[in-house]
Structure 1
Amino acid sequence: MITLLCTSWMLIMSNAQAVELLDKVAVVVNQGVVLENEIQDLMAELKQQASRSGQELPSDKALRVQVTERLIVNELQQQFAQRIGLEVSDAQVQQAVQEIALKQETTIENLRQQVIYSGGNYESYLEKVRQELTANEVRRAMVSRRIYVSPQEIDGLVTLLKERGQKNEEYHLGHILIGLPSDATASEIESSQNRAEKVIELLNDGSDFKKVAIGSSAGAKALDGGDLGWMNVNEMPTLFAEAVTDQSKNSVIGPIRSGAGFHILKIIDIRGRETVEVSEVNARHILVKPSIIVSDEKAKNTLTQYLKDVKAGNEEFADLAKQHSEDPGSAAKGGELGWADPSMYVPEFKDALAELEPGEYSQPFKTAHGWHIVQLIDRRIQDATDSAYEDNAYRMLFNRKFNEEAEAWVREIRDQAYIEILGDNN
């Protein structure tokens, strides 16, 4: 009996030690931590993705460095969000998951099954989505306030766009950053520059750009293989825009020095941007929000009755919207939303409008905001106007400055943080 108990106790202790080893603290980040199992999980996920896409990854040691850095930055952003009281609701998480499912041309249930089938936990998956939304929101909130786009900048870019007829080229860029500390010494600068030049040699000798980026880049997109996606020159950081001008596809450019370090760019592809006509809709809606008092069923039934009254001629849609709609921005205008690109609406709202002809009403439907009925007033094809030029110019300038400031903000919160990498992570 004693032997059996001893054996059982040894097994329990062995299992406990295994769990402790997996759940041990790998990095201390201010008052928070990054756990060993978080690092291992993300490494395993990246390896699975690489296996499916045929992408070669760097050594486990190099991959671990990149994964650890991403998790440190994520932890810092989550802490910052908590500090300013920023929270992502369950409805926002579900909306994001719905959009992920739509992009993959599947359902939420199928997506859940895919996560489980691949060995994951769906609740953990939802938490990852929540953290990503939180990081995006806190970055947008903190960086946007640092950006000012002057009327003079907009006017200058509008003039340029009109001269070019908006036939601007877009570049699909790869990016590698050999980083520098904010107070770098002369020897650190020289060392980083030498590393950047060696990276360029590797790339010119045919090394895979994504693999090199994952293994050596300190940029925000390192674990995505340094892929910055498609950008117009007016949306890029100024240094990048000047560097890619007149360059050809597959060109490797750099090293380009900035305060962050030495940048290396690869032009993966180039395409022309042609002027397109914008399809706009004018619609009006009534919104009823579920609450402790108003259930989903009651909200839906209320809107169903409103719809019957309108169709029977007993009520005017605009009057009902003014009296009952819980969208304060449109209620005062009889529910009218004005002319807009339908893509600006949440997917359910956009889909409801897509099925309507002018004058028709939708059946009640639900979005993250609540229950709606909507009437499509009219559609139009809108040519580019001065207002559209200005909006486009502002967006380009804002995106350019946002990309620059976001990188600087992340560096700042990391430089100001207490970070201790423990054990084998050093």
Structure 2
Amino acid sequence: MNHDFNILIVGGGAAGFFTAINLVEKNPKLKVAILERGADVLQKVRISGGGRCNVTHACFEPNELVRFYPRGEKELRGPFHQFCSGDTMEWFEKHGVALKIEDDGRMFPVSNSSQSIIDCFLEATQKLGIKILTGQSAQSIFKKDELWKIETQSENYIAEKLILATGSNPKIWEMLQTYGHGIVNPVPSLFTFNIKDPRIKDLPGIATLATVKVKNSKLESTGPLLITHWGMSGPAVLKLSAWGARILHDQKYQFAINVNWLNNVTATDADKKLKEIKQEHAKKIVSKKSPFELPNRLWENLVLAAKIPAETKWADISKAQLQDLSQELTNGTFQVNGKSTFKEEFVTAGGIDLKEINFKTMESKLHSNLYFAGEIVNIDAITGGFNFQNAWTSGFIVANGIANS
């Protein structure tokens, strides 16, 4: 049996729902359906931001916002001028979900619950008569006489326009390759570093502001660094993993990093400061209290790593030990051996080649009436609400493009 619609959206996630709602709000006569392979829709929305849903980021200037996207920076400039973070805020307010800005710029529902976003989307789709069809996994995509046909394991669907919002779905990418679309091979982005090292052993949960560099590369990132049971995480590491997604994949996640625990203080400045402390606190024990804004337990480990015995007083430190200590503080080398996925918020670098998409409408340049929204394309961002902003913006642009066509 065939089910006919004006528009079919494959993928019941953030981008799929946002596209559907905007489409029917602009043109209430449209018959629109969302096909979702799982039993539930909006699963990633539910778990994101620790169940609070990090909707977007308080960066309201399009030319600034694009800088958070390791892939897609150039292409998103135009789209963000059409629909940016401020528009997202306004859209959700209008649909009954107030957002708040946290100190680090991330934006969440005032309710602190991703359920607010899910309820908003489900109520809107119901009100607008958008069909949500779960348990429908696309097995094949056909184009026939200007119509698109999707076969699932149990049904056939026909539509005039097809929107793919399937995220990182290799099966859909394969189908698109048969239609001539190029796929940039997906590799993980946003991951933490596995590091076994006595300097950070038994310190899980300790966080500090640091600068992290990947040795023998231009990759560098500054921000909070979190020590975990398996190594290092936190924004500084996650940012580095996103910008270095391809390079680090090619190195099979075996590489060395340099950590400046004092953030941007140079070894020379650290040396100077340590010499001053040696004069002022001659009788005090070096390892007891950190003279820098560093957690004491981490300071203790770094003092030991500089081969300064536990009970040594400042007065007894040699010149060589001081130099070793300033090196440990500003340029410690750590060996990374593998990665761990960052929570459930798995993001990949890769997807449909950006050269094959018209960013004024998100329509395929190879096939008319085929559109893309969200992470299916080769766009991804660092953590902080930016991947969702790409979902909202691309969904809005698809809806706008179709409304104006």
TM-score, shorter chain, exceeding 0.5: no
Question: Comparing both structures, which one devotes a greater share of its residues to helix?
Answer: 1
Q: TM-score by structure 2 length?
A: 0.27
Q: Specify which structure has the higher proportion of strand.
A: 2
Higher relative contact order (CA 8 A, sep 6+): 2
